Amino acid sequence: MLEVNHLKTQIETNEGIVKAVDGISFRVNAGETLGIVGESGSGKSVLAHSVMQLNPKPPTFYPEGEIIYKDRNLLTLSEKELRKIRGNEIAMIFQDPMSSLNPVFKVGAQLEEAILTHQKISKKEARKRAVELLQDVGIPDAAQRMQSYPHQFSGGMRQRVLIAIALAGNPKLLIADEPTTALDVTIQAQILDLLLGLQKKYGMAIILISHDLGVISQMADRVLVMYSGRVVEEGTVNDIFHRTAMPYTWSLLRSLPRIDGGHQRLIHIEGHPPNLLAPPKGCNFAPRCPFATETCLAVDPALSPRGEGHQAACVLTKEEFNEKKKEWEAVKMEGVR
**pLDDT tens column, 230-282:** 999 999 999 999 999 999 999 999 887 766 655 566 778 989 999 999 888 99
Where is the domain boundary, 220, 253, 271?
220
Looking at residue 117, what is its pLDDT? Answer: 94
Looking at residue 86, what is its pLDDT? Answer: 95
Number of domains composing the chain: 2
Looking at residue 180, what is its pLDDT? Answer: 87
> How confident is the model over 308-321, as a mean pLDDT?
94
**Residue 232 falls within a domain, yes or no?**
no
**Residue 121 falls within a domain, yes or no?**
yes
Same domain (yes/no): 95, 136: yes
CB 220 within 8 A of CB 34: yes
Looking at residue 265, what is its pLDDT? Answer: 67
Lowest average pLDDT, out of 89-98, 117-126, 193-202, 242-251, goes to 89-98
- Tell me which residue of 288, 303, 287 sits closest to 255, measured CA to CA: 288
**Residue 120 falls within a domain, yes or no?**
yes
Looking at residue 98, what is its pLDDT? Answer: 83
Looking at residue 264, what is its pLDDT? Answer: 63
**Residue 41 falls within a domain, yes or no?**
yes
Looking at residue 248, what is its pLDDT? Answer: 96
Structural domain boundaries, residue 306: 244-336
Looking at residue 337, what is its pLDDT? Answer: 45
* pLDDT beyond 60 at 39: yes
Whole-angstrom Cα distance, residue 265 to residue 285?
A: 22
CATH at residue 133: 3.40.50.300
Query: Which runs of E-coded beta strand occur in the chain?
Result: 2-13, 16-28, 33-37, 60-69, 72-73, 90-93, 173-177, 205-210, 222-227, 230-236, 304-307, 310-312
**pLDDT tens column, 42-88:** 999 999 999 999 999 999 999 999 999 999 999 999 999 999 999 99
**Residue 238 falls within a domain, yes or no?**
no
Same domain (yes/no): 204, 267: no
**Helix 155-166 to helix 185-202 angle, to the nearest 10 degrees?**
20
**pLDDT tens column, 203-225:** 999 999 998 898 999 999 999 99
**Residue 225 falls within a domain, yes or no?**
no
Looking at residue 259, what is its pLDDT? Answer: 67
Looking at residue 329, what is its pLDDT? Answer: 80
Of the CA atoms within 13 Å of residue 4, those in its CB half-sphere come to 24
Interior angle at CA 250, CA 246 and CA 254, nearest 5: 170
Same domain (yes/no): 112, 214: yes
Q: DSSP for 75-127?
A: GGS-HHHHHHHBTTTEEEE-S-HHHHS-TTS-HHHHHHHHHHHHS---HHHHH
> How confident is the model over 167-194, as a mean pLDDT?
92
> How confident is the model over 111-126, as a mean pLDDT?
96
Looking at residue 96, what is its pLDDT? Answer: 81
Same domain (yes/no): 180, 249: no
Where is the domain boundary, 204, 220, 236?
220
Distances (CA, A) of 163 to 26, 77, 88: 25, 26, 14
DSSP for residue 287: G
Looking at residue 328, what is its pLDDT? Answer: 86
Same domain (yes/no): 102, 213: yes
- Tell me which residue of 263, 229, 208, 232 sits closest to 40, measured CA to CA: 229
Q: Which residues contact 286 (CB under 8 A, 6 or more apart)?
A: 280, 292, 296, 297
Same domain (yes/no): 58, 20: yes
Of the CA atoms within 13 Å of residue 89, those in its CB half-sphere come to 15
Where is the domain boundary, 168, 187, 220?
220
What strands lie across the sheet with 230-236, from one edge to the other?
A: 90-93, 173-177, 205-210, 33-37, 222-227, 230-236, 310-312, 304-307
Same domain (yes/no): 36, 76: yes
**Residue 173 falls within a domain, yes or no?**
yes
Same domain (yes/no): 87, 194: yes
Same domain (yes/no): 188, 290: no
* pLDDT beyond 90 at 335: no
Same domain (yes/no): 174, 209: yes
Same domain (yes/no): 89, 209: yes
**Residue 310 falls within a domain, yes or no?**
yes
Same domain (yes/no): 212, 68: yes
